[in-house]
Amino acid sequence: MINENDKVSSCHSPLLWRGLGRGVLFFLSFLALVFAEGKEGICFAQDIHWSQFNSSPQNLNPAQTGLFDGDWRFVGNNRSQWAAIPVPYQTYSVSADTRLKTKLKNDVPALGLIVNTDKAGDSKFSTTQVLISASYIKKLTEDSTNFISVGIQPGITTKGFNINALTFDNQYNGDSYNAALGSGENFSKTRITYFDMGGGLTYLLRKTRRTQANAGISVFHVNMPKQSFFNNKDITLDMKTTINGSLEVPVSAQVDVLPSILYQRQGKYHETVLGAFGKYYLKPFNGAVTAVSLGGFYRVQDAFIAVVNMDYRNFNVGLSYDVNISKLTAASNNRGGYEISVIYIFKKEVPFVAKQRFCPIYM
């Protein structure tokens, strides 16, 4: 399933072009929704987020689990944000996913594992997530071009901070700072652990490797876990809704255009990211892909994002840099953050076995 060799090669198939039209319609509908919501103002989401959101598929949508051409997919992401401030934010993510072997003809389940860590500020406030992703992928058409996937993502999250790394007003004696003085604060705990749950839905049209459309919606923190370090049961983590869409369309023998959009809302906060790549194949397209992508994104009212991406065989490596333009520029000095992504897809080579053996007539 989701194998390039299964695709219909004819460029004139009405079914394929109707499917691509549906993908374009999904993408344009998301654009309309995002700009309608954007009139209220754009803010940051509360969760870990990535500028290269398409390069962290399980973080983007649990239904993306297993939705790739290959046997195993391994992903690594690193983000360093706001280097101009005294303690930059550091975020890491590693994940792996695969489809399971079954006797189902048109459906296939998939499993994945993802670990996220984030550390921020003088208190070294840390977030560690260990999440399991499970999806069910259904082939909608016999020509293996249309798929729908539904996924869930249960997991455990731990958050904590180091109170000894902080200073408080009560520790100033009017003349100087005295660490021996009490802080006057009474935290019930400095670490919390909770169960978390998310889920999502994704539609994929894949006419060829270079002509495809993807649209999805996901919801995280559906159980709204408690977040208080003071045992206040009224403080919970808001649900987060994510909508994403992307296209890949060839415009010449060696050039593709890849527009993408992301919209996220969590409580009263929301963000919109939109942009596009131009992808250039360094040699005629064949089984050994070598391509370079250049592009940019705009996180509305926050940052411009420059991105360069490289495909080489089963590897995809991306590097991006955010240029901050929000009101935070006084502190960030227009410096946002850099981000690195690495994706490796392992695909077993299927040995060729001839169905019939033809012997020379002289034998």
- The confidence score (pLDDT) of residue 12 equals 38
- The confidence score (pLDDT) of residue 363 equals 44
Question: What values do phi and psi take at 77, rounded to 5?
Answer: -135, 140
Residue 358 lies in a domain: no
Residue 359 lies in a domain: no
Q: Which domain holds residue 113?
A: 4-346
* CATH code of 179's domain: 2.40.160.40
Whole-model pTM: value is 0.81
Q: Look-up: residue for tokens 């250039």?
A: 280
Residue 252 lies in a domain: yes
- The confidence score (pLDDT) of residue 122 equals 76
Our CA angle for 170, 175, 181, nearest 5°, is: 30
- The confidence score (pLDDT) of residue 103 equals 84
* End-to-end CA separation in angstroms for the chain: 41
Please check whether residue 323 is in contact with residue 304, taking contact to mean a CB–CB distance below 8 angstroms.
yes
- The confidence score (pLDDT) of residue 1 equals 58
Q: How many domains are contained in the chain? A: 1
Residue 360 lies in a domain: no
- The confidence score (pLDDT) of residue 178 equals 82
CA 94 – CA 362 distance, rounded (Å): 59
> From residue 212, how far is each of 27, 170, 228, 236 by CA, in Å?
12, 60, 44, 39
Residue 356 lies in a domain: no
Residue 150 lies in a domain: yes
Please check whether residue 230 is in contact with residue 211, taking contact to mean a CB–CB distance below 8 angstroms.
no
- The confidence score (pLDDT) of residue 182 equals 78
- The confidence score (pLDDT) of residue 41 equals 40
Residue 132 lies in a domain: yes
CA 258 – CA 1 distance, rounded (Å): 23
Q: Which two tokens stand for residue 311?
A: 């495909």
CA 359 – CA 84 distance, rounded (Å): 73
- The confidence score (pLDDT) of residue 164 equals 78
- The confidence score (pLDDT) of residue 131 equals 98
Q: What is the mean pLDDT of each run of 10 residues along the chain (363 residues)?
A: 48 42 44 41 59 96 96 96 68 97 90 94 88 97 93 97 82 82 79 96 94 97 91 90 97 95 94 96 73 95 93 94 78 74 88 50 43
Pairing between β-strand 303-312 and β-strand 290-299 as defined by DSSP bridges: antiparallel
Residue 241 lies in a domain: yes
